[in-house]
A and B are shown apart, each in its own frame.
Chain A
């Protein structure tokens, strides 16, 4: 699938509305966890797949594999498979496991153990650069995932070889069992990346135009985009709460949540 690189609020907001709604419906129907971190990255995925994805020239490595509902819903929305297949999510025998599986069409790499995808992507980008192929890898990391030292090995490697990688950090500031500030402080996060000789930009991870502009202003060199996001955005009952990492919505919360999503994207568009 090849996207058109001209921004249109309507295109990505329609995607965001659909994908976010699908995420909470899936979590409700399957009593599934990890809703919060899926909703915080939905806007990035909506913009990326609307305007930047190109099966020949780009690869997306989704390192935060636990937030799989967002990626599966995105790939379904963008016709990598019949969206109805997603109804089997997490059922016995389904390819849609609750951490991202490469058996799902459109998925590059199985993830779920954190701190793996950046290294694999660096190997792909090194090989592409070695053969002068025009290609860019996009790697989506969670913030809590940055506790894993393997990411920092990969970042040094990517910076040293100046590989064409775009590293996206979903900075929702809540990890699995506490706030980032309580567990392992990441700030000043942009300075950490810059001190590794990596270009770094901080944007509002729920503003599609800001995400578009950050993705659109890329050279052939590596770049980090820190998305300031809110876990479980835009569900009023769940936003910025640790519980959203675990609990799916109940019936009442689902109804309210779907309304929050609709209101948010209608205002946005």
Chain B
């Protein structure tokens, strides 16, 4: 995902001279291409995410479309108030891109697990919040954020993620149909981020009679569309590599219950939410080891 991000950002920056990339002293073997192509539009701001978030706001005020790239917690939790006040409140064109979403940097320890940032950022007005499921969605989202002017967040995994062959075209705020097991299945899985691809593989391998949707944009959402699409199912399983509080499952449940209270339907699908249960993972381990420890693979019980 990070290669897709930087390759496409470098491509877009050729024609769009407003694109400016700031990093927090990282990007070895990733950002050199952009840096060398556009040295006047690249800045290593040092290990100082609070200052960088503020200075990105300043760069945006001067007309730049700013991308702030760093690892998981650092361009998000470390500078949350600068994001809220200097970026979102002033509605600046600052796009935060974090590599290492969820447990992607598993063995590096809890400091490098990005498992709360989506919920925190989703609450901030004006922020677009995204967690693409595969490199194709990284590209789609990047195209959008490079053209609009609102602040945004994009969570990336690491590198080497595979492409999902989607059933429909990407549309901002809509469900992205990743897998179709049969006509009119009774069960749907919804996910985003790299764990969506794990579900995809399992459903394909088992020829499972279910649908899988990616929901790569958590805000803004086309709520009516999502409600009417999901209400057809008997059972919905939502899977996220994030705390259960405030993330993807929360967003979907908010839509389902808010619309249910004002429509004529008498039943809702059963919704199962699978995510991190208000815990930290303090042991070393691979991304899959920590996903297993956190119970994220329990979605397999529903296949």
Residue numbers of A with Cβ under 8 A of B are 102, 109-110, 113, 115-128, 130-131, 149-150, 153-154, 156-157
Chain A residue numbers with a CB within 8 Å of B54 are 116-120, 122-123, 150, 154
Closest 9 CB pairs of A and B: A123-B58, A119-B54, A123-B55, A127-B62, A153-B51, A153-B48, A124-B58, A150-B50, A120-B58
Chain A nearest Cβ from B177, distance in angstroms: 40
In terms of DSSP, what is the predominant structure of the interface of chain A?
A: helix
Q: How far is the CA of A124 from the CA of B85 in the complex (A)?
A: 16
Q: How far is the CA of A110 from the CA of B60 in the complex (A)?
A: 15
- CB nearest to A110 among chain B residues: B89
Q: How far is the CA of A117 from the CA of B85 in the complex (A)?
A: 10
Q: B46 an interface residue at 8 Å Cβ cutoff?
A: yes
Q: B77 an interface residue at 8 Å Cβ cutoff?
A: no
**Do B57 and A123 touch (CB < 8 A)?**
yes
The 0/1 profile, CB within 8 Å of A marked 1, for residues 50-82 of chain B is 111111111111111000000000000000011
Q: Which of B45, B55, B62, B85 has the largest count of A CB atoms less than 10 A from its CB? A: B55
**Do A122 and B89 touch (CB < 8 A)?**
no
Chain A nearest Cβ from B245, distance in angstroms: 25
In terms of DSSP, what is the predominant structure of the interface of chain B?
A: helix
Chain B nearest Cβ from A155, distance in angstroms: 9
Residue numbers of B with Cβ under 8 A of A are 40, 43, 45-46, 48, 50-64, 81-82, 85-86, 89-90
**Do A121 and B46 touch (CB < 8 A)?**
no
Q: How far is the CA of A125 from the CA of B54 in the complex (A)?
A: 12
Q: How far is the CA of A185 from the CA of B90 in the complex (A)?
A: 33
**Do B58 and A127 touch (CB < 8 A)?**
yes
- CB nearest to B79 among chain A residues: A150
**Do B46 and A120 touch (CB < 8 A)?**
no
Q: How far is the CA of A124 from the CA of B48 in the complex (A)?
A: 17
**Do A150 and B59 touch (CB < 8 A)?**
no
**Do B58 and A116 touch (CB < 8 A)?**
no
Q: How far is the CA of A39 from the CA of B40 in the complex (A)?
A: 42
- CB nearest to B87 among chain A residues: A120
Tell me whether A157 and B81 are in contact in the complex, defined as CB-CB below 8 angstroms, given that A124-B61, A126-B43 are known contacts.
no
Q: How far is the CA of A102 from the CA of B61 in the complex (A)?
A: 13
